[in-house]
Amino acid sequence: MKFHQKISFFVVLLLFSVLIFSFQVSADGGDSAGVGVVNVPPNYADINIYSVNDQIRVKLILSDYNSWMDIQKVQVNLEDNGVVLHSFVFKQYSNPETFEKLNTFAEISNSSLLLEEACYVEHSSNSKSVADRCQLEVRFVFKTTYFSGLHVFSSDRAGDTTETFIEYKASDMNRGENTLLIPWIDGAIKAELPPFLLDISIFLIALVATIVIGKKTPFTHQLQQVFYESK
């Protein structure tokens, strides 16, 4: 009986040691693990959009509880009423199967707006806190352009994707009074109208409308009668 009790005690002690060791491994994480949970898609800890001189900077802090190393790519679309005007992408890996770091920024649309030399990706070199192990900071920098919304897509190595949409009302100042955006297959065509064309068009429309409406009013008819009777 005592021998069986010793065996049972040894088995329990062994299982307890394995559990403690597993917990420490998942907590430490190293360079290839976060907090040791089942795969979850990335989420957005913070999004900041601001303008500097003739540049717009989009700072994204992504969080992935499987580690920041689990994030495969981030795509940013500049949109206006659902129409994609421009599109940029950051890739930490060229594909989900490889572990070879790529860390490149590229422009999907052919507008030459992305300033690749100003873009950057950053993460903590420590693994003490959850933020250190899970957060990845990605910054897109591009030339000032018009857009009314920012659509962000992020995917991890398992193929799970998350997205968010942010309105950007400050971009109204970037749209000139004589700028016309025409929706097209690859985004939108930006047309610059001649100065004062809009004001002249409004004046002519108002003048024509006044003449047409004026001819149909009783007051104008009475004036015409008085004018012809005076003759």
Q: How does pLDDT run along the chain (231 residues), one tens digit per residue? A: 555 555 665 555 566 554 544 444 344 444 444 455 688 899 999 999 999 889 999 999 999 999 999 999 999 999 999 999 999 999 999 999 999 999 999 999 888 999 999 999 999 999 899 999 999 999 999 999 999 999 999 999 999 999 999 999 865 444 445 555 555 544 455 555 565 565 676 667 767 766 666 665 565 555 555 555 555
Cα-flanking dihedrals φ and ψ of residue 118, to 5°?
-95, -15
Per DSSP, the three-state class of 113 is coil
Tokens of 122: 């950053």
Lateral strand order in the sheet of 55-63: 43-52, 55-63, 135-143, 120-123
Amino acid (one-letter) located at 170: A
29: alpha, beta or left, given left = phi > 0 and alpha = psi -120 to 50? left
Cβ atoms of 140 and 119 within 8 Å: the answer is yes
Q: What does the pLDDT read at residue 216?
A: 58
Q: What does the pLDDT read at residue 220?
A: 55
What is 153-191 written as a DSSP string?
Answer: EEEETT--EEEEEEE-GGGGGGS-TTEEEEEETTEEEEE
